[in-house]
Structures are given as C-alpha cells and as structure tokens.
Amino acid sequence: MARKATATSAKTQPNVPQFTNEQDLDAFREMLLIRRFEEKAGQMYGMGLIGGFCHLYIGQEAVVTGITMASEKGKDAQITGYRDHGHMLVMGLDPKGVMAELTGRQGGLSKGKGGSMHMFSNEHRFYGGNGIVGAQVSLGAGLAFASKYTGDGSVSIAYFGDGAANQGQVYETFNMAKLWKLPVVFIIENNKYAMGTSIERAAATTDFSKRGASFDIPGEQVDGMDVRMVYDAAKRAIEHARSGNGPYILEMLTYRYRGHSMSDPAKYRSKDEVTKYRQERDPIEQVRARLIEGGVVTEEDLKKIETEIRAIVTEAADFATNDPEPDPSELWTDITIEA
Amino acid sequence: MPQILMPALSPTMEEGKLAKWLVKVGDTVKSGDVLAEIETDKATMEVESVDEGVVKEILVEEGTEGVKVNTPIALVLGEGEEVGEGNRPAAQATSSDPEGQSAVPEAAAASVPAEPKAGGEAPKFVAQNDPDLPEGVEMVELTVRQALNEAMAEEMRSDANVFIMGEEVAEYQGAYKVTQGLLQEFGPQRVIDTPITEHGFAGLAVGAAFAGLKPIVEFMTWNFAMQAIDQIINSAAKQLYMSGGQVTAPMVFRGPNGAAARVAAQHSQDYSAWYSHVPGLTVIAPYSAADAKGLLKAAIRSPNPVVFLENEILYGSTGLVPKMDDFVLPIGKARIARKGADVTIVSFSMGMRYATQATEKLVAAGVDVELIDLRTLRPMDSDTVIESVKKTGRLVTVEEGWPQGGIGAELAARVMEQAFDYLDAPVLRVTGKDVPMPYAANLEKLALPNVDEVIAAVNAVTYRS
C-alpha cells in the first residue's frame, strides 16, 4: 500500500500524480511566497531587525504547500514546531502580521509577544508555532480528540521533524491516537538533520514512515520535494483520518537549504549536498519547468507572478519595519483571562 | 533595495570579517545566489542575495576585518535601476569608518527600538468575597472525596464540553475513588481511561482545550505529573500570552499532592510552590470539603489553566457543605478560619490540619490566634494576610513543602515588603524538612511538620516560653 519514493530517485518516479494547470500555478505562487518571504526574513535578521531564533523553511516549501492544498482550509487544524513561517503563509495568515511578529511589533500576530516560534490563529485553525521539540505532536492529537468529541469532521495535521521523531511523547501519542482512532495525520518533515546531527547519527532506524508500525499506524515515505507527490499522499492520509480509520503517518523526504537557524553555519554537511538539492530537486523550479515546458505560461507570465509576490513581501517587510513596538502596557496583558 | 548590507549571523554579532567575494562587478545575481563569505570568531557564513540584479560596485574589499553589521558592502541594481543619490551610501563604510554610523540605511535606523518605557503596574488581582449562603440552607456532611466528585458531576451535567481523562478514572472508578460513578453517568466518551503516559495525555488534553473543550486531567498523583510538567507550563500556562490573547487552554489538572503515608521520596512531595511560581496558571489547594467543592467547580468554569492540588490524606476527612444547586466559591480569596488578635497563622491544604490543631491548643492556652486558609496559591490573596498581620504583628506560616522558595518564603517576603513596620517579631516558617521523604516511620514523622512545631513557632513570635 505504501508508495515508496526517495528524494533522489523521484525524477524517474512512475505514476507521478498529475496536477492541473491551476494546481501547478497555485503551488508555484504559494511556494514562491514562502521562498521570498523567508529570504526577506533572513535578510532582516541579518540587519538586526529580527532577533532571537529564526528558523527558515527554504527548501521545504512543497511539504506544507501540498498538504494544505489537500486539506480543507478553515476546517482542518494544523500545528507544527518552530519552523512555522511557511505553514502560516500557506494557511492564509497575513504576511504582514507574520513579519511584524518576527520583528516584535504591535501589529504582529501575537502582538509581538510570541516571536518567530509562537504564532497562532483560531480563525485559520493554526495552533502554532511551538518551541518545544515534540510538544506539538501530543497537542495535535488533542486537536483531533476535540474533533472526534464534537464530531465536527475536521482532521488535525501535526508536523514534526526527524529530530522530534525521537522524542518519547511522540510514541505516547501514537499509541493513544491509534487506540482512540483519532483523526490525525502525522507529518514527519525529514530534512535529514536535527539541528547539526544527521539522522544516521541520531536514529536507530531512519525510515521514519515505519515509526508507527508497532501501533499499526500506516505510513508512507513521500518525495517531499515534489508538491504533486505531497498532495497525492496527503489526500490519501487525510481521507483515511477523516473517514474514522485513525491516524496516518507521512514521512516527507525534504531538505532545508539554510542552517537550522540563522546562527547556524551548517558546517556538518557538504556544499555539494546542498547544491545538488538546489539544482536538481528544488520544489519551485520543478513547477516552473513544468509550467514553461507544458506551454501553460510564458516566462513573462511567471515574471508577473514574481513581481506580485515580491510586492507582498516588500509590503510585509515595510510594515514590520515601521510598525511600532508593543505598548509597554502589553507587558501585563494576556497572562490570564479575568473570569 | 540595491545596497547589500553586512549581515549579523547571530543576535550578538556586531562586526565580522568580509572573507571572500564570490561575485564581481558586472555579474548578474538572483535570489539565493551566494555573494560573499563572512567570518566571525565563531563561524563562517555565506551572504545570499535576496534580490535580482547586476553587481555595480563592491564597497568593502575582501579581507577587510571589523566590518560593522549593517554596513553596505556592495551595490546591486535591478533592471531599470540607476546608481543615484538614493542608493549610494552617504559614506564609504569600511574599516576606515569603524563606526559605520553614517551608512546605516533608513530601514535599519527606523528599527532602533525606542528606549523602553516603564512597563506600568502589574494589574492587581482583587478577589470576590465568598457568596452569602441562602438563609436556612441545609448543610450536609461530605467527605472531601464526595465533594470533589459532586463538583465534577455537576459541572459535567451543565457543560457538555467538560470531560475527564486520566489513569483509572473510568472502569476502576478512580485510583482514589474521586471519579466514582462518573463513567456510569456520563459514559466512556466523557470519562476516559488513559494509558500510563502522563506527558502524552497531558499534551493531548491541552490540545483539546485549544480547540474549545474543557478537559479535567486527573493525575493519579502529582508526583507523576513531573512527566507532564512541560505541557502544563510551556503549552498550557504560556499559551494565552504568547498568542497575544488568541488561544486559551481552559482546563483543570488535578490529583492528590503532598505526602501520602509511608510511600517514600518519589511518591511524597508537595508541588505547591513549583506551580505557584508560574504566571498563567491558577493554583488552588483546598483543605475543607466545602472549599474543595466550591473551588473545583470554579476551576472547571475558569477560562484559564488551573492546577488543583488535592491531598490523599484529606480525601476521607469530612466537613459541612451547603446543599445548593450551584455552590461556587471565588478563586483567589483566602478564608479566615478563625478571627484573632495575637498572632496570624497562614496555611493551606494539609498544613491546615496541623495549624487547626495547634490553634485549638493555643486558644485554650489563652493565645488569640487568627488562622487563615489561603485556599488559592495563585493568585495569592496577600491582602487578607497583610491586613491580619497589621493587626497581630506576628506571622507563622505552615506547609508540608520544602522551605527554600516555598509558599512561606513568599508570604514572608510580601509581609516584609508591605507590612514591615507592623511586625513585632520575625516571620517564622514551619515547613517540611529540607530532605527527600524518608520511608522509615520515625524518620517520615520527623520530616513532616507537626502541631508541636507550629505551637513552638507561635510561642517564639509571641515571646512566650
């Protein structure tokens, strides 16, 4: 049942699901927005406008884009760890609010009180933005528990990395999720490195799609650099969860181009490895090539999209630079709700 | 933005060496291309291009040391852009201009945060008084266990979003029988036996609360909640603040806390001070049956995460509880258990047993004790304590927890800050001893506070021998 694909062999992958032109264009737009937004965030970090930790999603764009395209926006809940900017952009949260949160301004999604790792939206059903590695897995199962309890038909999508996949609470959660048949899809974003430690040095078994095996949770390894493969697998997994069959695991074979965070020079991997992914497997370039080769659009058309995306990012950056810091009185708000 | 600026690699980096240029004037670059390598004493990193364009000028030669962050290092112009006043740096920012101040671009300058203003006053919590009981209300004798059970059953009847999960809460009827009968009345959808996975089910319950449910999480004892403390503090307590007020975790974590009998170090510990340390949490530790019922109902209704600390030894103790349809007590209000003028004793939970027995003996000996049961530890009703100390001039605190950083230590600090001039004697703390709980019966007894220690402390602060 499990379709196997690895990031390096996917070019010759048979039975690659086809996207309509609209889907390809949507995916191109969403992924490009993440890419340009993150590049801008990196630049603003370099300028000292963004502080603390800042984990960029560059390289992994196809994962959250394909999954979100396969989910019901506004109904299905999503939750992730600290590498969360891309998730919010694809889920429709305001790029200005995200960027202003990164710069710690009052117009940030969390009023400047959360920062890069802590942003949320009830309206879009995005539950963070969680800074503790692995915590989002049990929280995500809790979102699924609420769905089952109320019968609202939603699915919870919980993302975590290859590093978090070794945390104990992940397996506590797998057990309960299967035991109670919770509608949750676990997405393991395997970008090969938990900060600076490669999966080979940290994991006794590196096929993370099998990590649910002892709980009888089905799992698939997916080429996480090809948005079509991600979308196709996510459709299957979400449908499985929504129809009452319980949890599903998708291991996304992906790659981050930048360091773990802005202050990571990424000396633990070779330049060739990074270059190979960028040149041969880039998720955005794959779609761009398809669109051009298929004669769907011209270079000019894509340039126009790029200009539009750039304008959105520039607007977000300008807002985040000029928006004032939170009022000092905000120090004392939102600690508890007065009953 | 045609100027490429010297980036900071970390929040603390102020300057670095421009080690190597990977592009030259005239090169066309696009987003993601590596332009240069920079070095600090800690690391080497690459400067990537964010924009597309042609490299017009290299402003800082490779090999230059001490290049300040935000110094323009190159000029890259996009299609149709010209070199002009607007994008040429006002001054060449190289090591000859170590300050680099004149070259800080508009955007970066605008980012310099204003001098932090004072954060204003912490909001003062003012607790409601206990509601007046209806005249002639019937008082029924209940155990603390029954009172807690009634509180949960009543709240589950009135709010379908309230459910309880924990180890042995359903089929087994509760490890300490606090959830007895709930499964029969509310069914397995709302009374849920969990595997023995505190970390996992605590996190799962927090997630369910994010999505709008009102979980009650029973820990078989609070000792096991150490496995789950990350989810209680990092996920539940901080959620409202770090979401800027958007996402809440309305839920109760409850179970027996403190020393049980003869179960030794890992199963006998008082977490009152631990949880009361954390902003975002409400912490309740009742003593009487009536308080147990009224405060647990309030906790379940609270929009905030509540840590509700019960006590195994008190489960079987009885008290009078008003027989009312809806008996709810205010969170954050201490109860004056006995009015007096000579000395103030403050305690909570099991400590109240020692304090109450000591008070009976002291009153018989002619000491007019004022006895206060804090009931809620956060927010702490220091007003009631301060007012009392202003009257008596003396304070003794009683708790089972360890002395360092304890509830008594907190009360002593608050009294010193707010009623120093009223004190006629140093504040004395009666606490558990500063040791892990021993198993041997005699040692266990020595490790816990007792009535005689409370009496001795009162005698000391009232200068009676």
CA distance B197 to chain A (A): 6
Residue found by looking up tokens 């009676």 in the block: B464
CA A152 to chain centre: 24
As a whole number of angstroms, the distance between CA B179 and CA B200 comes to 21
Residue B305 backbone dihedrals phi, psi, to 5 degrees: -70, 130
pLDDT value at residue A13? 53
Tell me the whole-structure pTM to 2 decimals: 0.89
Chain B residues within an 8 Å CB radius of A49: 107-108, 111
B320 touches chain A (CB under 8 A): no
Mutate to test the interface with A, among B50, B163, B197, B224 (most CBs of A within 10 A): B50
Residue A2 backbone dihedrals phi, psi, to 5 degrees: -75, 125
Residue B102 has pLDDT above 80, yes or no: no
The reply to whether residue B302 touches residue A339, judged by beta carbons under 8 angstroms, is yes
The reply to whether residue A138 touches residue B163, judged by beta carbons under 8 angstroms, is no
Residues whose CB falls within 8 Å of the CB of residue B402, separated by 6 or more in sequence, listed in order: B270, B273, B431, B432, B433, B434
Q: What is the mean pLDDT of residues B1-9?
A: 79
pLDDT value at residue B118? 67
As a whole number of angstroms, the distance between CA B287 and CA B337 comes to 11
pLDDT value at residue A60? 97
Chain B residues within an 8 Å CB radius of A142: 203-211
Q: Which of A156, A22, A30 is nearest to A89 (CA)?
A: A30
From the CA atom positions of chain B, what is the Rg in Å? Answer: 31
- The model's pLDDT over A9-68, given as tens digits with 9 standing for 90+, comes to 344 455 789 999 999 999 999 999 999 999 999 999 988 999 999 999 999 999 999 999
What ranges make up the beta strands (E) of chain A?
77-79, 156-161, 184-190, 193-194, 197-198, 219-223, 248-253
B425 touches chain A (CB under 8 A): no
B211 touches chain A (CB under 8 A): yes
B376 touches chain A (CB under 8 A): no
The reply to whether residue B7 touches residue A46, judged by beta carbons under 8 angstroms, is yes
A284 touches chain B (CB under 8 A): no
Domains of chain B, with CATH numbers? 3-108 (2.40.50.100), 139-322 (3.40.50.970), 336-461 (3.40.50.920)
Indicate the number of domains in chain A. 1
Which range, of A172-181, B122-131, B360-369, averages the lowest pLDDT?
Answer: B122-131
Residue A305 has pLDDT above 70, yes or no: yes
pLDDT value at residue B107? 44
As a whole number of angstroms, the distance between CA B444 and CA B432 comes to 10
Strand B139-143 with B318-322, pairing: antiparallel
Q: Which of B223, B310, B320, B237 is nearest to B269 (CA)?
A: B223
Mutate to test the interface with B, among A149, A150, A282 (most CBs of B within 10 A): A149
Residue A151 backbone dihedrals phi, psi, to 5 degrees: 65, 30
The reply to whether residue B200 touches residue A138, judged by beta carbons under 8 angstroms, is yes
CA distance A111 to chain B (A): 5
Coil/strand/helix, residue A21: helix
pLDDT value at residue A12? 44
Q: How confident is the model at residue B115 (pLDDT cuts 50, 70, 90)?
A: low
The reply to whether residue B203 touches residue A339, judged by beta carbons under 8 angstroms, is no
CA distance A305 to chain B (A): 15
Structure tokens at A238: 């979400």
**Chain A residue with minimal CA distance to B162?**
A149
The reply to whether residue A52 touches residue B11, judged by beta carbons under 8 angstroms, is yes
Q: Which of B121, B379, B116, B114 is nearest to A329 (CA)?
A: B121
Q: How confident is the model at residue A339 (pLDDT cuts 50, 70, 90)?
A: low
pLDDT value at residue B241? 98
CA distance A174 to chain B (A): 9
Q: Which residue has the higher pLDDT, B364 or B121?
A: B364
Residue B449 has pLDDT above 50, yes or no: yes
A139 touches chain B (CB under 8 A): yes
Residue B165 has pLDDT above 80, yes or no: yes
- Annotation says B267 is catalytic: yes
**Chain B residue with minimal CA distance to A113?**
B242
- The model's pLDDT over A53-106, given as tens digits with 9 standing for 90+, comes to 999 999 999 999 999 999 999 999 999 999 999 999 999 999 999 999 999 999
B163 touches chain A (CB under 8 A): yes
Task: Check whether the bond before B379 is cis (ω within 30° of 0).
Answer: yes
Asked if residue A92 is part of any domain, the answer here is yes
Q: Which of B5, B209, B242 is facing A110, going by the closest CB pair?
A: B242
**Chain B residue with minimal CA distance to A170?**
B200
Cα–Cα separations (whole angstroms), residue B444 to A199, B259, B353, B355: 48, 10, 17, 19
B80 touches chain A (CB under 8 A): no
pLDDT value at residue B117? 62
Residue A241 has pLDDT above 70, yes or no: yes
Q: Which of B342, B332, B357 is nearest to B389 (CA)?
A: B342
Residue B85 has pLDDT above 60, yes or no: no
Rounded to the nearest 5 degrees, what angle is found at the Cα of B288, between the Cα atoms of B286 and B294?
Answer: 70
A151 touches chain B (CB under 8 A): no
Q: How confident is the model at residue B41 (pLDDT cuts 50, 70, 90)?
A: confident
Please list, residue by residue across B180-218, b when 16 or more beta carbons sit within 10 angstroms of its beta carbon and e when fewer do.
bebbeebeeebbbebeebbbbbbbbbbbbbbbebbbbbb
pLDDT value at residue B32? 77
Give the mean pLDDT of chain A.
94
Q: Which residue has the higher pLDDT, B284 or B70?
A: B284
Residue found by looking up tokens 């459910």 in the block: B163
Asked if residue A300 is part of any domain, the answer here is yes
Chain B residues within an 8 Å CB radius of A150: 212-213
Q: Which of A47, A139, A329 is facing B7, going by the closest CB pair?
A: A47
CA distance A264 to chain B (A): 8
Q: How confident is the model at residue B430 (pLDDT cuts 50, 70, 90)?
A: very high
With beta carbons less than 8 A apart as the criterion, state whether B96 and B23 touch: no
Cβ-Cβ pairs closer than 8 A, A with B, add up to 221
Asked if residue A271 is part of any domain, the answer here is yes
Residue found by looking up tokens 């633990």 in the block: A268
A94 touches chain B (CB under 8 A): no
pLDDT value at residue A208? 97
pLDDT value at residue A37? 97
With beta carbons less than 8 A apart as the criterion, state whether A142 and B204 touch: yes
Asked if residue A4 is part of any domain, the answer here is no
> Residue A210 belongs to what domain range?
19-320
**What's the CATH code of the domain at A228?**
3.40.50.970
**Chain A residue with minimal CA distance to B244?**
A110
Residue B157 has pLDDT above 70, yes or no: yes
Q: What is the mean pLDDT of residues B62-88?
A: 78
Asked if residue A196 is part of any domain, the answer here is yes
Chain B residues within an 8 Å CB radius of A79: 207
Asked if residue A6 is part of any domain, the answer here is no
pLDDT value at residue B91? 42
Q: Which of B43, B208, B298 is facing A265, going by the closest CB pair?
A: B43
Chain A residues within an 8 Å CB radius of B202: 138
CA B26 to chain centre: 58
Chain A residues within an 8 Å CB radius of B195: 172, 175-176, 179
Asked if residue A11 is part of any domain, the answer here is no
Cα–Cα separations (whole angstroms), residue A338 to A51, A60, A104, B244, B254: 31, 41, 25, 15, 21
Q: What is the mean pLDDT of residues B304-311?
A: 98
Q: Which of A51, A257, A334 is facing B244, going by the closest CB pair?
A: A334
A150 touches chain B (CB under 8 A): yes
B331 touches chain A (CB under 8 A): yes
Residue A128 has pLDDT above 50, yes or no: yes
Q: Which of B167, B198, B218, B399 is catalytic?
A: B198
Rounded to the nearest 5 degrees, what angle is found at the Cα of A247, between the Cα atoms of A242 and A249?
Answer: 115
A236 touches chain B (CB under 8 A): no
As a whole number of angstroms, the distance between CA B153 and CA B180 comes to 10
Residue B391 backbone dihedrals phi, psi, to 5 degrees: -85, -45
The reply to whether residue A39 touches residue B48, judged by beta carbons under 8 angstroms, is yes
**Residue A280: what residue type?**
E
CA distance A15 to chain B (A): 32
Q: Which of B267, B310, B312, B410 is catalytic?
A: B267
* DSSP class of B237: I
pLDDT value at residue A263? 79
- The model's pLDDT over B231-274, given as tens digits with 9 standing for 90+, comes to 999 999 999 999 999 999 999 999 999 998 899 999 999 999 99
Q: Which of B8, B116, B202 is facing A48, going by the closest CB pair?
A: B8
B207 touches chain A (CB under 8 A): yes
* DSSP class of B430: E
Q: Which of A39, A325, A336 is facing B280, going by the closest CB pair?
A: A336
Asked if residue A258 is part of any domain, the answer here is yes
- The model's pLDDT over B328-387, given as tens digits with 9 standing for 90+, comes to 999 999 999 999 999 999 999 999 999 999 999 999 999 999 999 999 999 999 999 999
- The model's pLDDT over B204-223, given as tens digits with 9 standing for 90+, comes to 999 999 999 999 999 999 99
- Annotation says B277 is catalytic: no
Q: Which of A169, A310, A15, A91 is nearest to B231 (CA)?
A: A169
Q: Which of B148, B197, B199 is nearest to B174 (CA)?
A: B148
pLDDT value at residue B442? 96
